[in-house]
């Protein structure tokens, strides 16, 4: 989507979201690596740090090109600070751990300083781990690593790399769940995730919405009906969580392949 000059407030989703569609998942991976590397360079130059938020699912695999030339050599990995938009409250070596997924698929292959990779404290309860993670974020705001949004008063991550579930959930914010309404905390916990494992921590909507850039990466046919609901003009209630992720002052780009948008009209 190209930016029209000052879209009217009533403009459809196109004004809120850039939709990029590629023929294949491989093409998505190539484009996503280039996009991420360019933002890494931008923020390393502007801020001396690049705060990157990861999610679970297939995203890490789609980021695989970052661990290959030319990015392996050219990205300023020493400037990266890595976070998780949500995490399962399990040990770091557990099969359900988003941390383990990211380490195995990407982080073990690129030279990001280990003390700049912020995993949850897996010795704490879900509630304790969420509070601890929020404390870590507040310290990084104080030290200038993590920006703050002047518009919202919440932390402003440079780039969130997100995925969406078939039910339209993002992070661990699920359809119809009370946590969709949390608007004070930066990080909260969930004890009854409809998708196992049930105990998780998650960034809240105000933090997601305060991001400078969000890449929503959806490939394959599994989420096609959710993509249709989110990206079509049909705004029937209730809104899916991903439909609610309208950035306050940032750029939200969808990276999709043909199967993911197969149910959208005119695509």
Q: Which residues of 208-240 are buried (b: 16+ CB within 10 A; e: fewer)?
A: bbbbbbbbbbbbeeebbebbbbbbeeeeeeeeb
Per residue in 190-217, pLDDT (tens digit) is 999 999 999 999 999 999 999 999 999 9
pLDDT at residue 7 above 70?
no
Q: Which residues sit opposite 201 in a β-bridge?
A: 87, 189
Could you give the CA distance from residue 241 to residue 244 in angstroms, rounded to a whole number? 5
Q: Which residues of 5-40 are buried (b: 16+ CB within 10 A; e: fewer)?
A: eeeeeeeebeeebbbbebeebebbbebbbebbbebb
Residue 237: per-residue pLDDT: 86
pLDDT at residue 261 above 90?
yes
Measured CA to CA in angstroms, residue 158 lies from 146, 214, 261 at distances of 8, 8, 27
Asked if 187 contacts 132 with a C-beta cutoff of 8 angstroms, the reply is no
pLDDT at residue 10 above 70?
no
Flag whether 112 is in a domain: yes
Flag whether 43 is in a domain: yes
Flag whether 50 is in a domain: yes
Burial of 201 (0-12, 13-18, 19+ CB in 10 A): buried
pLDDT at residue 42 above 60?
yes
Q: If we measure between CA atoms, which residue out of 124, 121, 87 comes closest to residue 102?
A: 87
**Cβ count near 169 (within 10 Å):** 23
Could you give the CA distance from residue 50 to residue 68 in angstroms, rounded to a whole number? 19
- 141: domain CATH number is 3.40.50.1360
Mean pLDDT along residues 93-108: 98
> Which has more confidence, 23 or 234?
23
Could you give the CA distance from residue 5 to residue 232 in angstroms, rounded to a whole number? 22
Residue 233: per-residue pLDDT: 83
Flag whether 210 is in a domain: no
Flag whether 46 is in a domain: yes
Asked if 126 contacts 201 with a C-beta cutoff of 8 angstroms, the reply is yes
pLDDT at residue 40 above 80?
yes
Could you give the CA distance from residue 45 to residue 122 in angstroms, rounded to a whole number? 34
Total number of domains constituting the chain? 1
Residue 16: per-residue pLDDT: 81
pLDDT at residue 178 above 70?
yes
Token look-up 């409809």 returns: 194
Give the confidence band of 137 by pLDDT, cuts at 50, 70, 90.
very high
Residue 266: per-residue pLDDT: 62
Per residue in 228-240, pLDDT (tens digit) is 999 988 788 889 9
Flag whether 180 is in a domain: yes
- CA torsion 215-221-227-228 (nearest 10°) is 150
> What is the residue-averaged pLDDT of the chain?
93
The three-state secondary structure class of 41 is helix
Residue 173: per-residue pLDDT: 97
Residue 20: per-residue pLDDT: 97
pLDDT at residue 117 above 60?
yes
Flag whether 266 is in a domain: no
Flag whether 177 is in a domain: yes
Per residue in 144-177, pLDDT (tens digit) is 999 999 889 999 999 999 999 999 999 999 999 9
Q: If we measure between CA atoms, which residue out of 185, 191, 211, 170 comes closest to residue 88?
A: 191
Provide the domain limits for residue 181. Answer: 26-203
E strand spans, 154-199: 155-156, 159-162, 187-190
């Amino acid at each position: 989507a190209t930016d029209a000059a000052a879209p009217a407030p009533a403009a459809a989703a196109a004004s809120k979201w850039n939709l990029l569609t590629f023929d294949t998942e491989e093409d998505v991976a190539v484009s996503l690596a280039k996009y991420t590397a360019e933002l890494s360079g931008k923020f390393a130059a502007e801020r001396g740090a690049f705060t990157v938020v990861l999610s679970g699912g297939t995203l890490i695999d789609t980021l695989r090109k970052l661990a290959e030339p030319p990015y392996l050599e050219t990205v300023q990995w020493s400037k990266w600070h890595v976070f998780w938009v949500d995490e399962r409250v399990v040990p770091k070596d557990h099969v359900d751990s988003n941390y383990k997924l990211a380490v195995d698929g990407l982080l073990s292959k690129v030279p990001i300083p280990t003390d700049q990779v912020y995993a949850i404290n897996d010795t704490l309860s879900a509630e304790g781990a969420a509070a601890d993670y929020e404390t870590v974020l507040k310290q990084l705001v104080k030290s200038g690593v993590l920006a703050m949004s002047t518009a919202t008063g919440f932390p402003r991550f440079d780039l969130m790399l997100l995925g969406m579930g078939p039910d339209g959930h993002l992070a661990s914010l699920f359809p119809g769940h009370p946590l969709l309404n949390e608007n004070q905390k930066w990080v909260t916990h969930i004890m009854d995730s409809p998708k196992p494992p049930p105990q998780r921590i998650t960034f809240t909507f105000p933090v997601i919405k305060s991001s400078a850039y969000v890449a929503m990466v959806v490939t394959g046919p599994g989420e096609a009906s959710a993509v249709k609901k989110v990206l079509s003009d049909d705004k029937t209630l209730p809104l899916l969580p991903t439909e609610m992720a309208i950035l306050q002052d940032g750029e939200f780009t969808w990276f999709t392949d043909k199967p993911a948008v197969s149910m959208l009209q005119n695509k």
